[in-house]
Amino acid sequence: MKVYTGGGDKGKTSLFSGERVAKHSLRIESYGDLDELNSLIGAVLAVLPDNSQLVARELAQIQARLFQAGAWLATTADSSASQFLDPMDESLVSELEGAIDTLSEELPPLKVFILPGGHQSAALAHVARTVCRRCERRASQLVEELEAEGELDAALSVIAVYLNRLSDYLFVAARYLNKVTATQEQAWQKP
Amino acid sequence: MKVYTGGGDKGKTSLFSGERVAKHSLRIESYGDLDELNSLIGAVLAVLPDNSQLVARELAQIQARLFQAGAWLATTADSSASQFLDPMDESLVSELEGAIDTLSEELPPLKVFILPGGHQSAALAHVARTVCRRCERRASQLVEELEAEGELDAALSVIAVYLNRLSDYLFVAARYLNKVTATQEQAWQKP
Amino acid sequence: MKVYTGGGDKGKTSLFSGERVAKHSLRIESYGDLDELNSLIGAVLAVLPDNSQLVARELAQIQARLFQAGAWLATTADSSASQFLDPMDESLVSELEGAIDTLSEELPPLKVFILPGGHQSAALAHVARTVCRRCERRASQLVEELEAEGELDAALSVIAVYLNRLSDYLFVAARYLNKVTATQEQAWQKP
Amino acid sequence: MAETLTSSNGDHWITLEERRQLSGEVFELCCTRPAGFHFLAGQHVGLRIGQLERDYTIVSARQEPRLRFLVEQLEAGLLSSRLASLALGSSLEMGPPRGYLVERATARQRVLVATGSGIAPFVSMLSSGFQARYLLQGARRPDQLYYRRQVSPLVDNYVGCLTAPGCLAKGKGWVYPGQVTAYIDQLLPVEDYDFYLCGKWEMIRQATHIIDRRFPEAKVFSEGFY
Ligand code: B12
Ligand code: B12
Ligand code: B12
Ligand SMILES: C[C@H]1O[C@@H](n2cnc3c(N)ncnc32)[C@H](O)[C@@H]1O
Ligand SMILES: C[C@H]1O[C@@H](n2cnc3c(N)ncnc32)[C@H](O)[C@@H]1O
Ligand SMILES: C[C@H]1O[C@@H](n2cnc3c(N)ncnc32)[C@H](O)[C@@H]1O
Ligand SMILES: [Mg+2]
Ligand SMILES: [Mg+2]
Ligand SMILES: [Mg+2]
């Protein structure tokens, strides 16, 4: 079973809705970065401590949601392809907010910046957090561009909000992973 | 012997062919990202399981190829500097296709997306895969820009194809690393 | 106390100096990437070998400096907010140069490229190095843009130089980490 | 939609009722259609005997009472050789319908391109009422243009692209001596199209690159195999 098809060797590729677009077009950038984020979450999962099954389940669920989001990013508004996709609605955002609230309850309140790092899983969660914020920047740019052209699908606005919340989830998860591994968190000290 | 020269402190830097260009010019972006990919492959190598010497050798070979590609990206078309460079021809692409085919034979066929992750080496191979695809997007943009200006060196088109194939190699390598470490691969399940 | 405020759900966010800007604006890109670099340094720290306390201290210091830099990037020139910020001056650059020189003395001189990798901490230091260079490219672009508009704060030029030197520090640190872990460094061999 | 077509449409047992040889290496299986089984024209299902499983495209129309599948007997194909000899009346396990090479709403004309057993989804689509401007069917010899008689009247323009030497069949206006890709490159008039491609990935790769050059605004839907 081969994985390479060669169809993209000349710099264009296909959306799920069929259009041929440049590989460096904004949609492809957007879901390409989402794929990077998804892979980084996989890297967090690979080094997760045993006593964090809750986070393990949540991260796996988030990976599935990112594929759902990726499929929407690969589909132009009003395309008949969207009938095949699972809806992206605000409930996905509340799902994340619930998870943030639950983890936050375990953590001391924070009024300063913390140096990203600590346990390896926490350190990688911080990397994932910042890549998530990069995804959010691309999504925000795509939303702006599509809105200007009157081609914005509502699913994409939800994705942007989801990514905003996801970066907060990853921040809280990083702190939580340090807590359950008894790793001291370091506040940013000015010089 | 100092590694810092200060020559780039004002935002410009040199190509191998001598031109001074902005650090945020597209060529520099392209080989800067390639350097990131190369480093991520180093990170995969650092956590590779013992029973994957074949992949170890292939990744080291790929690292060398990426330097070869980087040198071409640092050289403008028709520059006399290109005489110092090793040719970038289609045989490099076939080299990779052979490697993909060999690894694929060990793997069950796939008809769905898989959640990136698993063994730490596989998880990082997925991260490398997505950074490789980012490199491909930059290369595709550079090729388009240079083509429009009639300044495209054939080596660059080969690099774009090489990167397309490399991301497929890294996908297959990730699956293979999970297999040899007896790590279960997870298919994407829709909600 | 919730970490999510929702204030950025519609694609705009606030600078420290108060302006509301698009999330994909160049300033936000710049400190977003800096945050990614900071997190990657956290990942290096998480896997640092025991016998490299010097590097551990330096990296923690660098993390603090990156927050200092981030605050400046979040502040427009001549804004009254800058009075709250610690100055960014050339002494930060010399601080790094000193660190580079000290580590370099422990290392054999180099006249070739080395394959990024080796010990896990060295491999991640290389990844951090390349992300640092990405930050430098964004900073260089921001400096150019602000200069053209006559809105360049001197702190930002120092940040660009700091990042240039930081990538050299991370290169030397990667080599050093391989040395103290007795990991052989591999020179790039042409095909 | 995604729901009704896959997850809630789980595994079924079907019975082999008839086998029809279409050429030396290709045959059609006719099976019972389970009550309540829905699919979109162009989709495929996994057929299983014991541990062996492979995907086969449904060639029957959506409204047909039986399910028909196109099977190419591959030299190394364990399942296809089992299917070639399976006794009539035997049961087979069938998975849910999958795949997106199906009708997509459009204002544009459609061009369908198939090589070899890649004709299967288009047989189902055309006989289910799908409208298309062109069907380019590629094969080496005329006897490998499976379902040609059934589908050629269902499209505006049918072209059989034959690659074996000496296939310049006299007087047959629908024959083009050459590959489907050459036809797209040289003869297909420039208009607004959506392309549906099915066949080996190598054909899809070449066709896609030609489409990118000649029809840069076109949408391309493809389903490939090796
Ligand atoms: C968008 C997209 C992506 C996105 C994200 C998808 C998402 N939902 O987030 C990203 C960038 C992550 C991606 C990555 C990859 N993709 Co992709 N992707 C697509 C695309 C354009 C649409 C898929 C989709 O979202 N469908 C919507 C959902 C709802 O459909 P679905 O029911 O899950 O069904 C899909 C899967 O079953 C998948 N699928 C079917 N067969 C195979 C085989 C393989 C090997 C894989 C990985 C997937 C796959 O395709 C179905 C239909 O779209 C298709 C091409 C197309 N135009 O359809 C290629 C496509 C499926 N991808 C492909 C490949 C090769 C990959 C990568 C291996 C590339 C790489 N080297 O990194 C990875 C695999 C990632 C993984 N973790 O498994 C190939 C598969 C080729 C093959 N052998 O069949 C396709 C067909 C493109 C092509 N022509 O080359 N992809
Ligand atoms: C393109 C380029 C890169 C590219 C990629 C190169 C590639 N092939 O993929 C990337 C972005 C990866 C890169 C990275 C670095 N580079 Co560089 N790079 C260059 C450049 C522009 C051309 C090199 C090249 O490709 N030559 C073509 C090949 C075929 O030549 P070669 O036979 O292999 O010979 C080269 C090497 O031997 C190398 N070299 C010679 N002495 C030294 C010393 C050191 C310390 C290093 C690392 C390399 C090196 O330069 C030779 C001639 O170009 C040169 C400057 C120039 N204009 O020549 C700088 C240059 C070689 N790089 C330099 C530096 C410092 C680095 C980095 C350490 C920067 C950093 N902090 O990350 C890293 C090291 C990476 C590594 N893994 O070793 C310095 C070396 C300074 C010195 N002390 O001699 C140079 C001279 C630029 C400068 N003036 O500052 N680089
Ligand atoms: C620039 C900025 C960043 C930059 C970098 C800052 C730097 N110096 O490098 C980056 C991108 C790294 C960043 C990241 C984050 N930030 Co921020 N950031 C800001 C911003 C715009 C200015 C902060 C600053 O640099 N102040 C200058 C320095 C000198 O001030 P300071 O004396 O250190 O005091 C600051 C800290 O104490 C901090 N702070 C106060 N309370 C809290 C609470 C929390 C939870 C955190 C993390 C920080 C924090 O804000 C103070 C005043 O600015 C403020 C909003 C604003 N307009 O002020 C948000 C802000 C502080 N950030 C916020 C958040 C949520 C985060 C992240 C958690 C987001 C995420 N999911 O990744 C991370 C945390 C990173 C970490 N390691 O701790 C929130 C805090 C909300 C709250 N509950 O109070 C704010 C208020 C924005 C907002 N309205 O949502 N941020
Ligand atoms: C915490 C601070 O980070 C900035 N901010 C908000 N969203 C992003 C993003 N996607 N990427 C980088 N920075 C961001 C804002 O300035 C916010 O106040
Ligand atoms: C698997 C899918 O990923 C998309 N695709 C193809 N090349 C790239 C790239 N370099 N980066 C991100 N996405 C890409 C296409 O849509 C393809 O079909
Ligand atoms: C070592 C070589 O890397 C290139 N170079 C200099 N600065 C950067 C950067 N920030 N990112 C990527 N490449 C860079 C120049 O060509 C230099 O000579
Ligand atoms: Mg936010
Ligand atoms: Mg590809
Ligand atoms: Mg430099």
Q: Which atom of ligand 4 lies at the shortest distance from residue A133's CA?
A: 10
Mean pLDDT of C16-42: 98
Selected residue of B111, B157, B161 to mutate for chain D interface (largest D Cβ count, 10 A): B111
Q: Is B191 in the pocket of ligand 1 (CB under 6 A)?
A: no
Write out residues 137-176 of B within 8 Å (CB-CB) of C.
Answer: none
Ligand 4 mean position to A79 CA, how many Å?
32
Question: What is the complex's ipTM, to 2 decimals?
Answer: 0.98
Q: Tokens for A33, please give them.
A: 């970065």
H or E element, residue D115: strand D109-115
Q: pLDDT-derived band of residue D3, with 50, 70 and 90 as boundaries?
A: very low
Question: How does residue D170 score in pLDDT terms, banded at 50, 70 and 90?
Answer: low
Chain B residues in contact with A63 by the CB 8 A cut-off are 115-117, 188
The rounded Cα B42 to chain-centroid distance in angstroms is 12
Helix axes B53-73, B154-180, angle to 10 degrees: 160
Q: Say if CB B55 and CB B138 are below 8 A apart.
A: no
Is the Cβ atom of B148 under 6 angstroms away from ligand 2? Answer: no
The DSSP H or E segment spanning A171 is: helix A154-180
Cβ neighbours around A161 below 10 Å, total:
21
- How far is residue A81's CA from residue A78's CA, in Å, rounded to a whole number? 8
Q: Which atom of ligand 2 is nearest to the CA of C113?
A: 78
Asked whether the beta carbons of residue A86 and residue B168 sit closer than 8 angstroms, the reply is no
Enter the tokens of residue C127: 């990844």
Question: How crowded is residue A106: how many other Cβ atoms within 10 Å of its Cβ?
Answer: 12
Residue B152 buriedness (CB in 10 A; 0-12 / 13-18 / 19+): middle
- H-helix or E-strand containing A37? helix A26-46
Cα(B126) to centroid(ligand 8), Å: 14
Q: Please answer whether residues C74 and C151 qualify as being in contact, where contact means their C-beta atoms are separated by less than 8 angstroms.
A: no
Could you give the CA distance from residue B36 to residue B33 in angstroms, rounded to a whole number? 5
Q: What is the pLDDT of residues C92-131, one digit of tens each?
A: 999 999 999 999 999 999 999 999 999 999 999 999 999 9
Q: How far apart are CA A86 and CA A64, in angstroms?
A: 12
Asked whether C42 and A118 are in contact (CB, 8 A), the reply is: yes
Residue-wise pLDDT tens digits, B4-47 = 999 999 999 999 999 999 999 999 999 999 999 999 999 999 99
Low-confidence ranges of chain A (pLDDT < 50): none
pLDDT band per the 50, 70, 90 thresholds, residue D10: confident
User: What ligand 4 atom has the least distance to the C-alpha of A135?
Assistant: 10
B186 interfacial to chain C (CB closer than 8 Å):
no
Integer CA distances (angstroms), D34 to D8, D11, D41, D43, D199, in order: 14, 10, 16, 16, 28
Nearest CA in chain B to A121: B120
Chain B touched by D48 (CB under 8 Å): no
Q: What is the CB-side half-sphere exposure of residue A73 using CA atoms within 13 A?
A: 28
Query: What's the Cα-to-Cα distance from A51 to each of A41, A57, A102, A180, rounded to whole Å?
Result: 17, 12, 16, 7
Cα separation, B67 vs B70, in Å, equals 5
Asked if residue D120 lies in contact with residue D59, where contact means CB atoms within 8 angstroms, the answer is yes
Chain B hits for A41, CB-CB cut-off 8 Å, are 116-117
Q: Choose one of B104, B113, B126, B131 to mutate for the ligand 1 pocket test, by most ligand atoms within 8 angstroms of C-beta.
A: B113
**Residues of chain A whose C-beta is under 8 A from some C-beta in D?**
1-2, 5-7, 9-10, 12, 14, 16-20, 79-81, 83-86
Return the partners of chain B (3 or more C-beta pairs < 8 Å).
A, C, D
C-alpha–C-alpha distance, residues B133 and B138, integer Å: 9
Instruction: Give the C-alpha separation, D108 to C149, whole Å.
Output: 48
- Nearest residue (CA) to ligand 3, atom 23: C16
Provide the pLDDT for residue B166. 98
Other Cβ atoms closer than 10 A to A86 = 16
Beta strands in chain C (DSSP E): 12-14, 20-22
Nearest to residue A29, comparing CAs of A101, A129, A134? A134
Tokens of A26: 């904004």
Put simply, whether the predicted model's pTM sits higher than 0.95 gets the answer yes
Distances (CA, A) of D110 to A80, A134, B124, C23, D106: 15, 39, 42, 41, 9
Q: Considering only alpha carbons, which residue of chain D is nearest residue A79?
A: D105
Search chain B and give the residue with CA nearest A68.
B190
Inter-residue contact A119 to A183 (CB < 8 Å): yes
pLDDT at D169 (0 to 100): 60
Query: D90: number of CA atoms within 13 Å, CB side?
Result: 16
CA of B129, closest atom in ligand 1: 72
Distance separating alpha carbons of residues A21 and B79, to the nearest angstrom? 32
A28 Cβ below 6 A of ligand 5:
yes
Sign of CA dihedral A97, A103, A106, A109: negative
Contact A137, A79 (CB under 8 A): no
Range 43-102 of A in CB contact (< 8 A) with C: 97, 100-101
Q: Which residues surround ligand 8, an ion (CB under 5 A)?
A: A 8; B 164
- The secondary structure element, H or E, covering residue B182 is none
Q: What is the CA radius of gyration of chain D?
A: 17
- In this predicted structure, what is the pLDDT of residue D108? 94
Residue whose CA is closest, atom 57 of ligand 1?
A: A16
pLDDT at residue C128, rounded to an integer: 99
Q: How far apart are CA A168 and CA D174, in angstroms?
A: 62
Q: Ligand 4 mean position to A186 CA, how many Å?
A: 21
Q: Which of C13, C16, C29 has the most ligand 3 atoms within 8 A of CB, as the residue to mutate?
A: C16
Closest Cβ–Cβ partner in A24, A43, A45 for B127: A43
Average pLDDT in the C56-61 region?
A: 98
The residue type of A161 is V
Per-residue pLDDT of chain B (191 residues; tens, 9 = 90+): 689 999 999 999 999 999 999 999 999 999 999 999 999 999 999 999 999 999 999 999 999 999 999 999 999 999 999 999 999 999 999 999 999 999 999 999 999 999 999 999 999 999 999 999 999 999 999 999 999 999 999 999 999 999 999 999 999 999 999 999 999 999 999 87
Is the predicted pLDDT of residue D4 greater than 50, yes or no? no
Average pLDDT, chain B: 97
| 8 A C-beta contact, residue B52 and residue B177 | yes
Element at D50 (helix H, strand E): none
CA distance B21 to chain D (A): 33
What is the pLDDT, as a whole number, of residue D168? 65
D98 contacts B190? CB cut-off 8 A: no
Distance CA A21, CA A27 (A): 9
| Record: contact B4-C116, CB cut-off 8 A | no
Kindly list the structural domains of chain C, giving each domain's residue range(s) and its CATH number in brackets, ordered by start: 12-75+87-180 (1.20.1200.10)
pLDDT of residue C191: 73
Residue in this structure with the two tokens 């990514």, named with its chain if needed: A163
Q: Report whether residue B111 contacts ligand 1, using a CB cutoff of 6 Å.
A: yes
Q: Which two tokens stand for residue D92?
A: 């087979």
Q: In sequence order, which ranges of chain B are alpha helices (DSSP H)?
A: 26-46, 53-73, 90-105, 120-148, 154-180
Partner-chain residue, chosen from C11, C28, C36, that has the shortest CB–CB distance to A144:
C11
D220/A20 touch (CB, cutoff 8 Å), yes or no: yes
Q: Which two tokens stand for residue D113?
A: 């391109």
B63 three-state secondary structure: helix
pLDDT at D7: 41
Query: How far apart are the CA of A107 and the nearest CA of chain D, in angstroms?
Result: 40
SS3 of D109, please? strand
